[in-house]
Structure 1
């Protein structure tokens, strides 16, 4: 039963990274649209890496609801790291900077006698060290997990194995053996283990992060039960509540001229004929790999739309990829490639991803398997060719191809070393095989279409995500002091 209390406020503290911020803001909108008693206060600061994303997101909220308040915290300028260990621990420095500002802002929010009572903190999955602030205000701390439930379970399980059995993941990276993980229906190969679990430099960061998760009072996950039923059911006996309330997607289009040109080209292509290649806001490749991709596309004969980004400068800290100029592209790609493929393909820079996936001409998505991109592709019913790069993308790729059978494989164990080490090159032959399978596997296409329909209905009344959201709001309102 829903509580009869009249009003409550929630504090959201999102990470400024694009993959985290946009889905968190969608969650804020979901809360206030579902229950008129709730006010959401979003603690926001501009990241030097994703400042455009932060500004765009903030502007979009102003017209959404008077019950969403954006509280702008001071800008954060990171100190350039002088070592790998400093680079890996940069998130700690960010959180230490934020803590006093968050504490001060919440004190002001709750200081007035007329202010609605505070129901909970909702913290980004990387901000669990802020749970101490929630405890100071004597309210629950919930974690907003922007990846899937399957990977969430992997994170908790790997931490348990590390603490209980002293199992060190980076000692097993080259093993041919497999591991049983409660949220995966199939044994998980060590070779597919995400990079952040298999690099010694990241071990102290992972241990701190995962142990912080275990301090939370509950978890809100950007997924839906129809997609990850096996993983979600594995939490039924857990000591904490789990609320899968997704898919939370930012599907609004961009109206700039670049988008118009891309969509106009797609309008001229046959239905389900174009392979879209895009590797996320931080996806890029070195020249040798770029040329292998180009050769694969040309040899496949497929129509294609390729979002190709320039690597950030080597001396930049967390720099984002940028777009190539035409002369740079001509130099980068195989000689004559742009001319030979002019009738069937386009090489672009930044891509309006949601608009492209929504287009009837798009028949497949060569993707890094970032979770937001995965959810968007499912929503629009576009099969995926999995090519993970970093973060948790290797486990997402395994889940998509082996567990859910919603995609085909290009490589499930590829690791792009953004910070440490070197990256091997994937051959044109392997990439071409994945592209051909992507366009011809009718069973994968059928399954993806069925899951697309479920992703669109789950948040409607009677759907699983709608029900879980109701449970979450009941939980929030019941925690409000009388």
Structure 2
């Protein structure tokens, strides 16, 4: 009997990382029937959207999903220190689950760990077991190069975030043009994120290989920099994208059929899709301004509008109730727009982008969203909010 090669994948907390991780896992299994993959899901407190994706997966002997026990967040902590604390607390859970897997699976051999992006400080577990450790980077190659270069500046040249923020722009090997400092992610600009950033970037450099959700035709300059620039050359980078579902479905998602049916009745390429994904939201004043702009434009639209979490919490945005929507939007907006648009909560984004009625995409520029918009051929108006989104938007507009 041929033994299975067991691969353990640990996605970073958050739906954006989980979506591409699941698609990546399915691709691996389809390419090699000797693989058996276990995905260890780290859930942030008070989040439910990960279940939309994990529950829709078919039962399979080759793909196993295990939800790790939830860890409580430290009080009064910023996102960086909270993530550090969560990942540190999950190390023991990962060790226990993997030990159980090794004991239970007599027909398998633990072959590799794959740590998704921010989980690289759990690489210690792989090293203790003398198992290869790979990183799956769910953003682009240019952004990967940016992180590694800034880590080098911090570590080798003793530059820190307070010095970085004083610069107007920064030359980065993986970008053809200098990147405006205001487009850099907050993780490298704010002192309170520094220890988290240094841990995660160091982990990437220590991996046995870096798998990136991108492709050479899109990021040829960035990919070439990993062969030509002395600071990056030698790091084993594998662009294997675009990893997405080309035939998206919305099994288990409430009201998605209604939106698709409405799109079916719209003219070809006539609808503007406005979506800031699972963690994107606006305050009431901004929502009101967007609504006025939509109404004045006269464009047909689908607007995924999310309710902000309570201030000072790390809870994910949620959906508005119908009565809440009426109070946050201009008076009578929903009635006046009934024939030309839809305001919804959580959106089946890939399915909407794939629809022939969709002609434009107002996007926060998360990397998954960029890849989906390119794959389905929908032009993007960039509206970045946080994380890698400012840098991604600069790359889209200034480089690509």
Asked if these proteins are the same fold (TM beyond 0.5), I'd say yes
Distance, in Å, in 1 between the alignment partners of 2:314 and 2:325 is 23
Structure 1 partner of 2:37: 40
Q: Compute the displacement of 1:181 (Å).
A: 0.8
Structure 2 partner of 1:292: 289
1:211 aligns with 2:202: yes
Structure 1 partner of 2:20: 23
1:21-420 to 2 correspondences below 5 Å: 21-53=18-50, 55-63=51-59, 65-73=60-68, 75-84=69-78, 87-111=79-103, 114-173=106-165, 175=167, 177-236=168-227, 238-250=233-245, 251-254=248-251, 256=253, 258-315=255-312, 317-404=313-400
CA contact (8 A) 2:52 2:252 kept: no
Q: Compute the displacement of 1:98 (Å).
A: 1.6
CA contact (8 A) 1:159 1:207 kept: yes
Q: Compute the displacement of 1:330 (Å).
A: 2.4
CA contact (8 A) 2:56 2:251 kept: no
What per-residue deviation string (whole Å, max 9, x for no partner) do you get for residues 63-113 of structure 1?
3x322233443x2131352244xx431112212222122222222333479
Q: Compute the displacement of 1:157 (Å).
A: 0.5
CA contact (8 A) 1:124 1:144 kept: yes
Q: Compute the displacement of 1:172 (Å).
A: 4.3
Structure 2 partner of 1:456: none
CA contact (8 A) 1:48 1:77 kept: yes
Distance, in Å, in 2 between the alignment partners of 1:108 and 1:201 is 37
Distance, in Å, in 1 between the alignment partners of 2:351 and 2:294 is 22
Distance, in Å, in 2 between the alignment partners of 1:354 and 1:256 is 13
Residue 205 to residue 215, structure 1, CA distance change in 2 (3 Å): same
Query: Normalising by the residue count of structure 2, what TM-score does the alignment of the two structures yield?
Result: 0.91
Residue 286 to residue 257, structure 1, CA distance change in 2 (3 Å): closer
Distance, in Å, in 2 between the alignment partners of 1:173 and 1:338 is 43
Distance, in Å, in 1 between the alignment partners of 2:105 and 2:197 is 41
Residue 80 to residue 166, structure 1, CA distance change in 2 (3 Å): closer
Aligned residues: 393
CA contact (8 A) 1:173 1:193 kept: no
Residue 50 to residue 113, structure 1, CA distance change in 2 (3 Å): closer
Q: Tell me, what secondary structure is at the counterpart of 1:226? A: coil
Residue 252 to residue 184, structure 1, CA distance change in 2 (3 Å): same
Q: Compute the displacement of 1:224 (Å).
A: 1.6
Q: Tell me, what secondary structure is at the counterpart of 2:226? A: coil
Residue 60 to residue 301, structure 1, CA distance change in 2 (3 Å): closer
Distance, in Å, in 2 between the alignment partners of 1:19 and 1:400 is 19
Distance, in Å, in 2 between the alignment partners of 1:373 and 1:10 is 27
What per-residue deviation string (whole Å, max 9, x for no partner) do you get for residues 404-460 of structure 1?
1xxxxxxxxxxxxxxxxxxxxxxxxxxxxxxxxxxxxxxxxxxxxxxxxxxxxxxxx
Distance, in Å, in 2 between the alignment partners of 1:396 and 1:300 is 27
Distance, in Å, in 1 between the alignment partners of 2:80 and 2:42 is 21
Distance, in Å, in 2 between the alignment partners of 1:127 and 1:83 is 19
Distance, in Å, in 1 between the alignment partners of 2:202 and 2:42 is 26
Q: Tell me, what secondary structure is at the counterpart of 1:10? A: strand
Q: Compute the displacement of 1:294 (Å).
A: 1.6
Residue 390 to residue 256, structure 1, CA distance change in 2 (3 Å): closer
Distance, in Å, in 2 between the alignment partners of 1:333 and 1:72 is 37
CA contact (8 A) 2:205 2:235 kept: no
Q: Compute the displacement of 1:289 (Å).
A: 1.0
Residue 341 to residue 44, structure 1, CA distance change in 2 (3 Å): closer
Deviates more, 1:161-170 or 1:374-383: 161-170
CA contact (8 A) 1:369 1:387 kept: yes
Query: Normalising by the residue count of structure 1, what TM-score does the alignment of the two structures yield?
Result: 0.76
